[in-house]
Amino acid sequence: MTTAVQSSMSPATAALFADYVVPNYTRYPVSLERGEGSWVWDDQGQKYLDFFPGWGCNLLGHCPPRVVEAVQKQVATLIHVPNTWHTEVQGRWAKLLSERAFPGAKAFFCNSGAEANEAAIKLIRLHTPESRYKIITFTGGFHGRTMGAVTATAQPKYHEGIGPLVAGFEYAPFGDLAAVEALIDDHTAGFLVEPIQGEGGVRLAPEGFLQGLRDLADRHGLVLAFDEVQAGCGRTGHWFAFQHFGVTPDVMTLAKSLCGGVAGGAMLVKSELAPSLRPGMHAATFGGNPLAAAAGIATIETIEEVGLLQRAGELETLFRERLEPQVEELPIAAEFRACGVMIGLELLTPGAPIVQACMERGLLINCTQNTVIRLLPPLTLTDEELHAGCDILIDALRNHTPS
C-alpha cells in the first residue's frame, strides 16, 4: 500500500472539463471511474483507498449493495413525481427518521445540506413573530453555499465578492455562551449551530454549550436548530450527534450520509413547529423523490441490520490508537479529535502536501481549515483497511519536511 501511485487522467476527459465545465472546483488530475466498498479506481486502472468518500456522503462505502438494489428496483417503478402527490416510500422514510430522532419529529425533504439549512432559516423566521428575524450562528461553522446558508456561515473567506449578504444574521464565537447572550435582543429569532463542526476542523461543542443554548432558547422563546449535515445519520455512533450531548433541538438539518451516496436532504422539526412551514412558503421540486427515499430507507436498514452504529465506536477506538500517539511523536502534529468516524488531526503546518503525498501512495483524504487533516471514512471500513490507510498517513506525516 505504500508503493507510489503513478496516475494521469485521460486527455479526452481533461479536454471535456477544460472546454465545457465551469472551473469552480480545484480538481486533482484524476478521473474516477468506479467504486466498491472503501475503494475507488481511476480511468487508468489505479486503485485508491478512500478515507473521504463522497465528501462524507458515502457512509456505507461506494455502491453499497442494499442501496444499489433499492435504487435499481425503484428506478424501474417510479422515478419522480411532484409533491402535489403522495408516495408511500416518502412517508415511510419520514417515519423511520422521526422514530430515530426526537418524539413527534416531522420531515421536510430536499436535495442537499444547503437546501436543508435554507428551509431551517425560513422556518425559524416563520415560527417567530415578524419582528423577530435575527439568527445567531457561530464562528467556524459551515452551512452551505446558497445565499442564506453562506451568510449563516461565519467565515469571511466564503463571503468575498458576493455581497451584499442576506440581512439578519449575527455571529458569536463557538462555545461562548456569554457572547451569545449579549447578542440576544427583541429581534432575535433563533440559533443555527453544528454540534460538531465539520468543515471548521472536526470541533466538538464544548461541554455545556449546547445545553446553554437550549436554556437560552427556552428562556427567550427562540428556535434552536442543529445543523447535522455532516455529523448526522450514524457517523458519530449515535443516529444523530445531538444524542451524544443529551440536548434536543427544535429543528435539525440532514444530508450527506442520509441516502448512502444518493443526493438527498432533510429538515426534521418538532411537531409544534411544523405548521409554520405552511403550503406555498417553501418547496423542493425533487425533495423526497422516490429514488432518494428508497436509498434513504435502505441506508437506515443497512446501518441497523449490520450493527454499524456500534461499529462507529470501534473504528473511532482504532483510529485513536493509531493516530493520537502521533501528536506526541511528530513535531508537526498538534491535536487529535474524533467522534465516531468523524476524525480530525490538527497540524502545525499546512496539510495540503500531506493530502497530495497520501494520494500518490493510494490513499484519499482531505484537509480543511488549512491545517486539519480530515477523515470521514465509511462505517463499513475493515480493520485491515483502517490500518493500511493509517500506515500511509503516518508515513506521509513522518516524511514531510515543512517548507
Closest C-alpha to 277, from 250, 247, 239: 250
Q: What is the CA radius of gyration of the chain?
A: 21
Residue 217: pLDDT band (50, 70, 90) is very high
Contacts of 155 (CB under 8 A, 6+ apart): 139, 140, 141, 142, 200
* Segment 108-127, tens digit of pLDDT: 999 999 999 999 999 999 99
Calculate the alpha carbon distances from 190 to 128, 181, 187, 266 in Å. Answer: 9, 12, 10, 19
Same domain, yes or no, for 48 and 74? no
Is there a domain that residue 3 lies in? no
Q: Under a CB-based contact definition with an 8 Å cutoff, are residues 200 and 171 in contact?
A: no
Same domain, yes or no, for 266 and 394? no
Q: Under a CB-based contact definition with an 8 Å cutoff, are residues 312 and 237 in contact?
A: yes
Closest C-alpha to 35, from 43, 27, 25: 43
Which residue range is the domain that position 24 belongs to? Answer: 11-63+307-399
pLDDT attached to residue 399:
94
Mean pLDDT of 338-360: 98
Residue-averaged pLDDT of the chain: 97
Calculate the alpha carbon distances from 341 to 75, 157, 174, 280 in Å. Answer: 31, 27, 22, 39
Cβ count near 177 (within 10 Å): 17
Is there a domain that residue 6 lies in? no
Mean pLDDT of 339-365: 98
* End-of-domain residue from the set 239, 271, 306: 306
Is there a domain that residue 247 lies in? yes
Same domain, yes or no, for 376 and 327? yes
Same domain, yes or no, for 317 and 288? no
Structure letter (DSSP) for residue 46: -
285 annotated as a binding-site residue:
yes
* Segment 384-393, tens digit of pLDDT: 999 999 999 9
Is there a domain that residue 1 lies in? no
335 annotated as a binding-site residue:
no
CA distance 183 to 135: 10
311 annotated as a binding-site residue:
no
72 annotated as a binding-site residue:
no
Residue 403: pLDDT band (50, 70, 90) is confident
Same domain, yes or no, for 110 and 215? yes
295 annotated as a binding-site residue:
no
* Segment 39-63, tens digit of pLDDT: 999 999 999 999 999 999 999 999 9
Residue 8: pLDDT band (50, 70, 90) is confident
Is there a domain that residue 4 lies in? no
SS3 assignment, position 171: strand
Residue 25: pLDDT band (50, 70, 90) is very high
Same domain, yes or no, for 300 and 312? no
Residue 3: pLDDT band (50, 70, 90) is low
Return the half-sphere exposure (C-beta side, CA atoms, 13 A cut-off) of residue 317: 7
Same domain, yes or no, for 301 and 212? yes
228 annotated as a binding-site residue:
yes
Mean pLDDT of 356-385: 98
* Segment 191-215, tens digit of pLDDT: 999 999 999 999 999 999 999 999 9
CA distance 102 to 44: 47
Same domain, yes or no, for 177 and 73? yes
Examine the pLDDT at 342 and tell me if it is beyond 60.
yes
230 annotated as a binding-site residue:
yes
Examine the pLDDT at 2 and tell me if it is beyond 60.
no
Structural domain count, the chain: 2
Same domain, yes or no, for 129 and 202? yes
236 annotated as a binding-site residue:
no
What's this model's pTM, rounded to 2 decimal places? Answer: 0.97
pLDDT attached to residue 6:
62
Same domain, yes or no, for 70 and 57? no
* End-of-domain residue from the set 257, 275, 306: 306
Is there a domain that residue 82 lies in? yes
CA distance 267 to 120: 7
Beta bridge mates, 191:
136, 224
Is there a domain that residue 233 lies in? yes
pLDDT attached to residue 282:
97
Higher-confidence residue of 4 and 259: namely 259
CA distance 115 to 279: 17
Is there a domain that residue 2 lies in? no
pLDDT attached to residue 1:
44
Same domain, yes or no, for 69 and 215? yes
248 annotated as a binding-site residue:
no
Hey, what's the torsion of the CAs at 376, 314, 232, 159, to 10 degrees?
-30
Domain harbouring 367, CATH code:
3.90.1150.10
Residue 5: pLDDT band (50, 70, 90) is low
* End-of-domain residue from the set 285, 306, 327: 306
- What are the backbone angles phi and psi of residue 264, rounded to the nearest 5°? -175, 150
Residue 401: pLDDT band (50, 70, 90) is confident
Domain harbouring 275, CATH code:
3.40.640.10
Same domain, yes or no, for 48 and 104? no
